[in-house]
C-alpha cells in the first residue's frame, strides 16, 4: 500500500493545454500542510475557497431580498418602498376586498415586504373618483331644476385630497405610536412597523373606489347599502389585522382600540357620503294669489 508521501497531484496534459490557451482562467489551488495528521497519519488538505465564499454571500443577500440602502436623504432609500411588481399589488388588492377570518393581511399578503406604491395610487384614485363622482351626482340630481346652472366644483378635489391623505397617514401614525407605547408598557403586546401600518390602511381604502363610482346612482337606499357593505369589508381588513396585536392587552384597552379603529373608518365613509353626495330636495315654489277682487273695466261707446 502506498504511503501518504507517495500521493502527489499530477498535471495532466489536457489541463496544461487549457491553461495555456486561456491564462486568465480561474484555478482552484490545494495546498498540503506541513504539520502531520494526528489520527489517520495523513496530511491536512486546505482549499482556497475565498472567492467562492464571497460569491455565495452575495447571492444569499440577493435571494434574501436584503439590499444595501443609503440614508433617508438619498433616492435609493425611498426607491425600496416602491419595489413591488404588478402581481404583488393585485394580490394585495384582492386580499383587501376579500377578507377571510384567520387571514392576517400583513402575515399573508405583505410578508415582511410592505410598499407605498399601492397605498399611494389607491389614495390618488380615490380622491379623483370621489370628487368626480360627487360632481356628476350633483349634476344628475339637479337636472330637473330649471334654475340650476352647472359649474365644475374643482375645490372638491382639494378637499378630498386633504381628507383622504390625512386619514391614510395621520391615523396610522397615531395607531403605530399607541401600539408602540403599549408594547413598552405591556411586554406581551406585539406590534407592526410604521410602514406596515400605513400599507394596511392604504390597501383597505381600495373598496371605496368602486363604491364612490356607484354612488352616482341617485337612490339614497342604494347609497347607504353600498356604504354599509364597503365599511364592513374595509373594516374587517383592519380588525382582522390589528386584533391579534391588541388581544393580549387588557380587555378594556383591546376593545377600545378596535372600536376606535372602526369608528374612525366609519366617520371617513359617512363624511364623504354626506359632503360629496348630497341629495338635492326640490321645494315647489308657490305663486301667491292676490286677495283683492279683480276689477273689470267696461268700455262703452256713445252713439253719435
Angstrom distance (rounded) from CA 179 to CA 248: 12
Mean local confidence (pLDDT), 231-247: 92
Residue with cell 351626482: 137
Asked if the model's pLDDT at residue 36 lies above 60, the reply is no
Burial class (CB in 10 A: 0-12, 13-18, 19+), 30: exposed
What cell was used for 40?
Answer: 489517520
**Largest CA-CA distance found in the chain, in angstroms, rounded:** 168
pLDDT band at 300 (very low <50, low <70, confident <90, very high): very low
Sequence spans of domains, the chain:
71-278
Asked if the model's pLDDT at residue 255 lies above 50, the reply is yes
Kind of pairing between the strands at 30-36 and 43-47: antiparallel
pLDDT band at 53 (very low <50, low <70, confident <90, very high): very low
The strand ranges marked E within 13-132 are 30-36, 43-47
Count of residues making up the chain: 304
Rounded to two decimals, what is the model's pTM?
0.67
Q: What does the DSSP 8-state code read for residue 205?
A: T
> 16-20, 56-60, 83-87 — which is least confidently predicted?
56-60
The strand ranges marked E within the chain are 30-36, 43-47
Q: Determine the pLDDT at residue 205.
A: 95
Angstrom distance (rounded) from CA 272 to CA 227: 10
pLDDT band at 181 (very low <50, low <70, confident <90, very high): confident
Per-residue model confidence as pLDDT tens digits over 258-279: 999 999 999 999 999 899 887 6
Whether the CB-CB separation of 148 and 156 falls below 8 Å is answered with no
Which among 267, 239, 269, 266 has a CA at the least distance from the CA of 255? 239
Amino acid at each position: 500500500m502506498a504511503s501518504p508521501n507517495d500521493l502527489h497531484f499530477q498535471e495532466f496534459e489536457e489541463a496544461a493545454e487549457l491553461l495555456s490557451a486561456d491564462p486568465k482562467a480561474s484555478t482552484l489551488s490545494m495546498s498540503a500542510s506541513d504539520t502531520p495528521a494526528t489520527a489517520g497519519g495523513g496530511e491536512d488538505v486546505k482549499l482556497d475557497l475565498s472567492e467562492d465564499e464571497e460569491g455565495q454571500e452575495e447571492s444569499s443577500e440577493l435571494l434574501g431580498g436584503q439590499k444595501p440602502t443609503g440614508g433617508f436623504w438619498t433616492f435609493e432609500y425611498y426607491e425600496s418602498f416602491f419595489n413591488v411588481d404588478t402581481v404583488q399589488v393585485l394580490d394585495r388588492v384582492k386580499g383587501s376586498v376579500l377578507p377571510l377570518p384567520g387571514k392576517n393581511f400583513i402575515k399573508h399578503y405583505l410578508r415582511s415586504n410592505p410598499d407605498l406604491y399601492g397605498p399611494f395610487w389607491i389614495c390618488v384614485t380615490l380622491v379623483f373618483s370621489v370628487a368626480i363622482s360627487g360632481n356628476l351626482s350633483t349634476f344628475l340630481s339637479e337636472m330637473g331644476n330649471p334654475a340650476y346652472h352647472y359649474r365644475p366644483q374643482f375645490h372638491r378635489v382639494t378637499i378630498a385630497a386633504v381628507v383622504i391623505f390625512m386619514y391614510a397617514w395621520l391615523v396610522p401614525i397615531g395607531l403605530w405610536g399607541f401600539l408602540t407605547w403599549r408594547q413598552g408598557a405591556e411586554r406581551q403586546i406585539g406590534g407592526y412597523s410604521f410602514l406596515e401600518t400605513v400599507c394596511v390602511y392604504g390597501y383597505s381604502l381600495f373598496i371605496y373606489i368602486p363604491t364612490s363610482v356607484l354612488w352616482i346612482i341617485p337612490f339614497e337606499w342604494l347609497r347607504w347599502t353600498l356604504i354599509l357593505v364597503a365599511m364592513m369589508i374595509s373594516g374587517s381588513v383592519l380588525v382582522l389585522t390589528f386584533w391579534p396585536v391588541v388581544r393580549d392587552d387588557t380587555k378594556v384597552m383591546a376593545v377600545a382600540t378596535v372600536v376606535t379603529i372602526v369608528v374612525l373608518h366609519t366617520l371617513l365613509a359617512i363624511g364623504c357620503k354626506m359632503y360629496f353626495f348630497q341629495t338635492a330636495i326640490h321645494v315647489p315654489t308657490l305663486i301667491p294669489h292676490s286677495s283683492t277682487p279683480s276689477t273689470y273695466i267696461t268700455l262703452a261707446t256713445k252713439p253719435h
